[in-house]
A and B are shown apart, each in its own frame.
Chain A
Amino acid sequence: MKSEFNQIKEWEREFDAAAKRSLRERMRFSFIYTYKPVLDDAPHRSFDTMEEYREWCKKNLPEYLGY
Chain B
Amino acid sequence: MNKFSYEQGELLAETFKRWNVEYLFIGKSGAIFYGFPETTQDADIFPAKSPENGRKLVSALRELGYQLAPETERDLIAGKDFVQLQSGPFDLDLVFAPDGIETFAEAQSRSLLIDGKFPVASLDDIIASKRAANRQKDRESLPRLEAFRDYLRSRNLAFLPTNP
Residues of chain A whose beta carbon lies under 8 Å from any beta carbon of chain B: 8, 11-12, 14-15, 17-24, 26-34, 36, 39-40, 42-50, 52-54, 57, 65-67
Total A-B pairs in contact (CB under 8 Å)? 133
Partner of A29, one of B37, B87, B115, B137: B37
A8 vs chain B, min Cβ distance (A): 5
**Residue B109 at the A interface, CB < 8 A?**
no
Let me know if B6 and A27 touch, CB within 8 A: yes
Q: Given A12-B147, A40-B86, answer yes or no on A33-B3 (Cβ-Cβ < 8 Å).
A: yes
Among A8, A28, A44, A52, contact of B72 (Cβ-Cβ < 8 Å): A44
A31 neighbours in B (Cβ, 8 Å): 3-5, 29, 32, 39-41, 43
Does the CB pair A23–B163 fall under 8 Å? yes
User: Can you list 25 pairs linking A and B with CB atoms under 8 Å apart?
Assistant: A11-B144, A12-B151, A15-B37, A18-B35, A18-B37, A21-B164, A23-B114, A27-B9, A27-B32, A30-B40, A31-B39, A31-B41, A32-B41, A33-B3, A33-B41, A43-B87, A47-B81, A48-B80, A49-B97, A50-B82, A50-B95, A53-B81, A53-B82, A66-B140, A67-B137
